[in-house]
Amino acid sequence: MPTEEQKREPRYSETVREYSNGEVTIIWKPDLCFHATCCFVDLPEVFDPDKRPWVNPFGATTEAIIAQVDRCPSAALSYRLNAPASA
């Protein structure tokens, strides 16, 4: 059982999964996830825990993905905007 001090310490995840649609990369740290379910309830076209891989970065617009990731209460989901390809 974690101590009160351990509960207050920030949690860091060593496992990282990345899923990209070319414009945005969705970053998932499963060790941080406490399964609030809002990602797949609110955007099932992208997040589907019954599929492998469970993240489909092509399932919605980049804007919709960013908006949903920003609502992740555990911070297990984050994103990185990809640099545009130079011509």
Q: What is the pLDDT of residues 10-68, one digit of tens each?
A: 556 589 999 999 999 999 999 999 999 999 999 999 999 999 999 999 999 999 999 99
Q: Output the pTM of the full model.
A: 0.81
What Å distances lie between residue 79 and 2, 6, 9, CA to CA? 29, 27, 23
Classified by CATH at the fold level, domain 14-81 comes out as Alpha-Beta Plaits (3.30.70)
Peptide bond into 73 cis (omega under 30): no
Strand 77-81 with 17-20, pairing: unpaired
> To 5 degrees, how large is the angle CA 47–CA 41–CA 8?
85
Whose CA is closest to 79, among 35, 37, 39, 34? 39
